[in-house]
Amino acid sequence: MASTSSGGIPNQAAGRKLPWSEVIAFVAIAVIVLAGVLAGVLAGASPQGILTNVGFYASIAIIFAVLALGFNLQWGYTGLFNAGIAGFYLIGAYTMAIAITAPSPPIVIGGIPVYPGHLGGYSLPLAVGAILAMLAAGGAAVIIALPALRLRADYLAIATLAFASILQILANNLQSVTGGAIGITGIPKPITFVSANAPFLNAITIVGIGSAILLLFLLLLQFMAESPWGRVLRAVREDEEATMALGKNTFNYKLQAFALGGALMGLAGALFAVTLGYVSPSSSFAPAVTFSVWVMVIVGGSGNNRGVIVGAFLIYGLEWLSVQLKDYVPIALAAGLPTIRLLLIVVGLIAVIAAGVFVLFSRYMPTRGWGRVLRKIQERGWVRNGTIGAFALYGLGWVFVFLEQYKPGAIGDTIFYTRLMFIGVLLIILIIYRPEGILREHKRVLR
């Protein structure tokens, strides 16, 4: 509903404001893609190869977006903290792989087992495999939720985390079912291409299918969130006892939300299996997957389906970009080392001088025009925050300068971990200045 001003006239101006948070988010994603394309051009890749690489980024980001939608339904709307996202993701991926692959008997050479084989050989259609993956993951979510949802939120997190860890151990040891540590390979693509352009065509096909699925579930979840069912979920999140007092069976609503979220995570696992063509327990379903999805939802905006999709594309984009730029950042640093040194010195001096000027002017010129302006800026914390940011950039830059000067080979190896540091800084900034995320949840108020 539109908010109203004090005179009772609907305030439509807010609806016409430019959504700067959305603009910034989409510009950031565009910059990530552009940098990846530039890295491909510098590497001498063909236009088709560059598009294939960007398509791979989009397909994996879509998978994480589906995972984030599932977690957002559980936590963002209902307040159920799931620490076992990787477990439901694993169930969906292995169910899909077992359902659609051809028979894979054990391989024994010279009496030594080379490959243990895996359960499967059903060669079912991809759509059937995806449905089975959703049912399996959703069913597992119900089994976990029946006892765990009666506990407090922290116990639910512990139970789901233990569930995910147990599943990873089982997948690693049930060799005749999952292929063990080797995993399941030879998972078929949606369409089999045999031409020289097969990688490009496969990437475009998977992006198209994933985009359609993502759009479908985004619309469906938006409809569900605005329905009476979705309003009850938000009421449970805000005050479960008050919701129970209104006659709602909150346990049933929480169970439904947890099961649907788990089913979406299973669908993401099914998409992952088809996209990569193989699944293995150690590399693909580690606890880091759960933590990544948490970050995506927090950064994008919990309780906002569009926001968590933006968060998925942004956070995974940083990982993808770190891989693309790993070979070029050391070269660029080496070429521009004198300029970077000068720039860092200038940034540090400006930060110190600006802080001193603002403090002196705001303290000794409180009644004059510029003094009042500077005092307001200081009261709002802009000087302090800008100074801290400048010094952080100054220190980080010198770290890279020293690494490049004394250990050039270390720069490329640190790019991937610098991404983690950057994400951590981004999280801190968001928690301080915008805890609702980039695209905050739409607050619903009565007239």
One-letter amino acid for residue 195 of the chain? S
Pair 390, 367 in one domain: yes
Torsions phi, psi for 135 (to 5 deg): -65, -45
Closest-CA residue to 64 (of 272, 283, 298): 272
- Bridge partner residues of 360 (DSSP): none
Give yes or no: residues 244 and 133 share one domain.
Answer: yes
Q: In this structure, which amino acid lies at residue 388?
A: I
Q: What's at 23, amino acid-wise? A: V
Q: Is residue 38 part of a domain?
A: no
35 found inside a domain: no
List the pLDDT tens digit at each of the 447 positions of the chain.
Answer: 444 444 444 444 444 444 677 888 889 999 999 988 988 888 888 999 999 999 999 999 999 999 999 999 999 999 999 999 999 999 999 999 999 998 888 888 877 888 888 888 889 999 999 999 999 999 999 999 998 888 777 788 888 999 999 999 999 999 889 999 899 988 999 988 888 889 999 999 999 999 999 999 999 999 999 999 999 999 999 999 999 999 999 999 999 999 999 999 999 999 999 999 999 998 789 888 999 999 999 999 999 999 999 999 999 998 898 888 776 666 665 565 566 666 766 776 777 677 676 666 656 655 555 556 656 655 656 556 666 666 666 666 666 666 655 555 555 566 666 777 778 877 887 887 788 888 888 877 655
> What pLDDT, on the 0 to 100 scale, is given for residue 250?
94
Q: Specify if 11 maps to a domain.
A: no
CATH of the domain at 70: 1.10.3470
Say how many domains are in the chain: 2
Q: Do 248 and 345 share a domain, yes or no?
A: no
Question: Across-strand partners of 10?
Answer: 4
Please indicate, yes or no, whether residues 226 and 192 belong to a single structural domain of this protein.
yes
Pick from 442, 234, 15, 17: nearest CA to 4: 15
User: What integer pLDDT is reported at residue 151 of this predicted model?
Assistant: 75
DSSP 210-270: HHHHHHHHHHHHHHHHHSHHHHHHHHHHH-HHHHHHTT--HHHHHHHHHHHHHHHHHHHHH
Reported for 341-346, long-range contacts at CB under 8 A and 24+ positions apart, including other chains, are: 341/401, 343/397, 344/394, 344/397, 344/398, 344/401
Residues 256 and 382 in one domain: no
pLDDT at residue 15 in the model: 42
Point out which residues pair with 107 in neighbouring strands: 115
Asked if the structure places residue 429 within a domain, the reply is: no
Q: What is the largest CA-CA distance in the chain?
A: 92
Measured distance CA(292)–CA(289) in Å, rounded: 5
pLDDT at 388: 66
Give yes or no: residues 109 and 199 share one domain. yes
Give the C-alpha separation, 221 to 255, whole Å: 16
Report the DSSP beta bridge partners of residue 108: 113
- Per-residue burial over 323-337, b if 16 or more Cβ lie within 10 Å, else e, is ebbbebbbeebeeee
Q: For residue 53, is it within any domain?
A: yes
Residue 238 to residue 43: CA distance in whole angstroms: 51
Q: Within a domain: residue 415?
A: no
Residues 102 and 244 in one domain: yes
- Whether residue 160 is found in the same domain as residue 306: yes
**Three-state DSSP state, 113:** strand
Same-domain check for residues 185 and 334: no
> Hey, which residues does 184 pair with through a beta bridge?
279
Round to whole Å and give the CA distance between 240 and 238.
7
Last residue of a domain, one of 274, 295, 321: 321
Check: CB of residue 278 under 8 Å from CB of residue 175: no
Residue 356, both tokens:
């001193």
Helix, strand and coil percent figures for the chain, each rounded to 5: 75, 0, 25
Does residue 114 sit within a domain?
yes
- Asked whether residue 394 falls in the same domain as residue 299, the answer is no
Three-state DSSP at 70 gives helix
Structure tokens at 304: 């906002």
Say yes or no: 312 and 353 in one domain. Answer: no
Range of the domain at 219: 44-321
Looking at 255, 287, 321, the residue that finishes a domain is 321
Distance from C-alpha of 236 to C-alpha of 79, rounded to nearest angstrom: 8
Instruction: Write down the pLDDT at residue 2.
Output: 41
Decide if 301 is inside a domain: yes
